[in-house]
Chains A and B, each alone.
Chain A
């Protein structure tokens, strides 16, 4: 177990990629604070699953887009489990649509959670991370933050912001022994991306991915665990793409 005696906070961990990360961190021995915004029951189920496997976990409700709630989240997680030294900024939403007919506040809501949430939660834990001199922050971002997709302008922009924030936070925090990296997930079937798969169950997208399959939440979680733990001890400011080769490709990679 690579994360014994480590304590993690995972935002948006009641389902999807966040849930998989919480379970994977716990499997490596970390105590885990499972953050949720509205899905308390599901978060408690994640806690139960970790405890059943012999781990330690607490569920903490908070909307990370609000700086006060992010602050309280860090305080409650610390009170419940002890000093934190791993933060996984996973909470994210989408509000897809063409720029032409999107609601004027759609971009702001997405930005507030996807970028603002990571910003606020990072700020909320950084004092204790810096004081310890050894900690890791992993931002769950998207390959979409580096490339474009019709209908995802605000989501893509929010992930692009998260990627830039990852680099800046990495260089600001390096002096304090805090590493900051991001996982750029490719297409991962979760409730968040349901719309993308609506047309044909994702068949047309799958054909364009070099590995010819979607990511599993466990595969994305494995990359997050690597960046959270000692195996990536000299890695900071890195955007680790987990997309089956999709963004390595030019166009569809063939005639």
Chain B
């Protein structure tokens, strides 16, 4: 077996930025780490799918939308993640703070709904997930 090169985090960031730029038709420099994909960059669900498949082709690491959803929800059942109006509750918010380093509930302008959770996901969050998956694959 030849030695496998494990890409550095910087490579992963540029891979994500290139995938985002190509999928959304924007300049890679606009895909800054702190930009939210569905929010600030305006990605639709098919754009997110496009980004993930571009990443897969470029890095051979497969990340699915349900991987992202699982990360964000952390296996917490729907009814324990939010209240009856699907507003994310304390347990949900605590989990989000643990998986999204930039997330701070005190800076929310309005109550966070289950639907809005995916909108918190940033270029950096996707990069971190990619790095984690690549490392898991390399050590497997």
Interface, chain A (partner B; CB < 8 A): 130-133, 172, 175-176
Residue B6 lies at the interface, judged by CB distance under 8 Å to chain A: no
**Does the CB pair B46–A131 fall under 8 Å?**
no
Interface size class of B (residues with CB under 8 A): under 10
Summarize A's interface: helix, strand, loop or mixed: helix
Point out the residue from A130, A131, A132, A175 that lies within 8 Å of B23, measured CB to CB: A175
Residues of A within 8 A of B57 (CB): 131-133
User: DSSP majority for the B interface?
Assistant: helix
Find out whether the CB atom of A172 lies under 8 angstroms from the CB atom of B53.
no
- 4 tightest A-B contacts by CB? A175-B50, A130-B53, A131-B56, A133-B57
Q: Tell me the bound Cα distance from A132 to B60 in angstroms.
A: 11
Q: Complex formed: what's the CA distance from A89 to B23 in Å?
A: 29
Residue of B nearest to A171 (CB): B46
Q: Which residue of A lies closest to B60 (CB)?
A: A131
Most buried by A among B23, B53, B56, B62: B53
Q: Which residues does chain B contribute within 8 Å of A175, judged by CB atoms?
A: 23, 46, 49-50
Chain A contacts of B23 at CB under 8 A? 175
CB distance from B24 to the nearest CB of A (A): 11
Please report B residues at the A interface, Cβ cutoff 8 Å: 23, 46, 49-50, 53, 56-57, 62
Given the complex of chains A and B, what is the CA–CA distance between A133 and B19 in angstroms? Answer: 13
- Measured in the bound complex, the distance between the Cα atoms of B129 and A109 in whole Å is 44
| A132 surroundings in chain B (CB, below 8 A) | 57
Q: How far is the CB of B60 from chain A (nearest CB, A)?
A: 9
Please indicate the chain A residues that have their CB under 8 angstroms from the CB of B49 in the complex.
Answer: 130, 175-176
Q: How far is the CB of B19 from chain A (nearest CB, A)?
A: 12
CB atoms of A133 and B53 under 8 A apart: yes
* C-alpha spacing A216/B70, complex, angstroms: 52
Closest to A172 in B: B46
Closest-CB distance, A168 to chain B (whole angstroms): 12
Bound Cα distance from A9 to B56, whole angstroms: 24
A234 to B16, alpha carbons, bound, how many Å? 27
What separation, in Å, do the CA atoms of A132 and B62 have in the docked complex? 12
| Minimum C-beta distance from A186 to chain B (A) | 35
Known contacts A130-B49, A175-B49; can you find 15 more A-B pairs with CB under 8 A?
A130-B53, A131-B53, A131-B56, A131-B57, A131-B62, A132-B57, A133-B53, A133-B57, A172-B46, A175-B23, A175-B46, A175-B50, A176-B49, A176-B50, A176-B53
Which residue of chain B has the shortest Cβ distance to A131 in the bound complex? B56
Distance of A237 Cα from B132 Cα, bound (Å): 38
**With the chains together, A172 CA to B50 CA distance in Å?**
10
Bound together, the chains give a CA A96 to CA B32 distance in angstroms of: 59
Q: List 17 A-B contacts (CB under 8 A).
A: A130-B49, A130-B53, A131-B53, A131-B56, A131-B57, A131-B62, A132-B57, A133-B53, A133-B57, A172-B46, A175-B23, A175-B46, A175-B49, A175-B50, A176-B49, A176-B50, A176-B53
Shortest C-beta distance, B28 to chain A (Å), equals 18
